A = this chain, B = another copy of it.
Amino acid sequence: METHDAGRPDSIARRLERAIQKGQFAPGSRLPSERDLAQRWQASRSIVREGISMLVAKGLLSRRHGSGTYVNAPSDHFGAEVWADMSRRYPDLPADFFEFRHMLECRAAELAAERHDAGDRKRLQAAQAAVDAAFRGGDRELQMRTDIAFHHAIAEATHNPVFAYLMISLHKLLHDHMQLTLAGTTPRSEVFRHVVAQHRRLLDSILARDAVEAGRAAAAHIDFVRVRMNHLPPRRPMTAAPSGTRG
């Protein structure tokens, strides 16, 4: 009796996924053709095809008609589709997203301050340096990419996959959104200087393991980004006094 069964789509999908995770198929590379995989694994092309479809739906693979099936980079299948159907359901809720992001980034900053290790320190500093360099230059796309990478580094320094997953997927969503909103604006260098300064403050407090200050710095940063980039008013009616580190 075979352990694999090899004939069911989900079995194919699992096998493929394992092969990808084991590095057998590198990110960005092309998979063998459907016909090839079918013959190799003694399954019909239909089954292989459906198995691949599952991984496409999960964002692990991409198909290109006439060209082939390609392995996505990990950051690609890291969740953007989580929010996709939600934002389809609720046409525009950027304010709600920012509210959520506010909470997420604050807490992540606190956790990163408490838990980061030597490797995290190095990655955080490198990411910060990259942001600095990008903002000295004029490449808008690069600025956003490095900015997101910086926040990714924080996310990973939390050592909590749930936070990392949500932050990264959220940034991907917001990245697309930002590209649209920033498309026609002029590069306001003083805004960018503010962003860099806020990153500095955030990074310093994390590295100093000052969780409270890190949370405040993250809050300030997100508030600034929301107001300057998207011209959105804060959602909270602010009935009570600002609570704890999130003021």
B237 touches A212 (CB 8 A): no
Confirm or deny: A183 has a beta carbon within 8 angstroms of a beta carbon on chain B.
no
Cα distance A104–B99 in the bound complex, in angstroms: 12
| Residues on the B chain within 8 Å of A246, using CB | 244
Give per-residue flags for A207-247: 1 if the beta carbon is below 8 A from chain B beta carbons, else 0.
00111100100000000000000000001110111011110
Q: A57-B57, A86-B165, A165-B86 are in contact. Are A243 and B211 (CB under 8 A)?
A: yes
| Residues on the B chain within 8 Å of A211, using CB | 239-240, 243
Q: Which of A30-38, A144-152, A156-164, A193-201 contacts B (4 or more CB under 8 A)?
A: A156-164
| Residues on the B chain within 8 Å of A89, using CB | 161
A239 touches B163 (CB 8 A): no
Count of chain A residues with Cβ under 8 Å from any Cβ of B?
45
Confirm or deny: A100 has a beta carbon within 8 angstroms of a beta carbon on chain B.
yes
Chain A residues touching B, majority SS: helix
Q: Which of B100, B110, B163 sits near A163, CB closer than 8 Å?
A: B100
Determine how close the nearest CB of chain B comes to the CB of A9; give it in whole angstroms: 9
Cα distance A240–B208 in the bound complex, in angstroms: 11
Copies in the complex: 2
Q: A243-B245, A244-B245, A245-B243 are in contact. Are A236 and B114 (CB under 8 A)?
A: yes
A243 touches B110 (CB 8 A): yes
Confirm or deny: A178 has a beta carbon within 8 angstroms of a beta carbon on chain B.
no
Cα distance A114–B239 in the bound complex, in angstroms: 7
Cα distance A50–B54 in the bound complex, in angstroms: 10
Confirm or deny: A107 has a beta carbon within 8 angstroms of a beta carbon on chain B.
yes
Mark A residues whose CB is within 8 Å of B. Answer: 50, 53-54, 57-58, 79, 82, 85-86, 89-90, 93, 96-97, 99-100, 103-104, 107, 110-111, 113-115, 160-163, 165-166, 209-212, 215, 235-237, 239-241, 243-246
Could you show 21 A-B contacts with beta carbons less than 8 Å apart? A50-B50, A57-B57, A58-B85, A82-B82, A86-B165, A89-B161, A96-B160, A96-B162, A96-B163, A99-B111, A99-B160, A100-B166, A111-B236, A114-B237, A115-B237, A209-B239, A209-B240, A210-B240, A211-B240, A212-B244, A244-B245
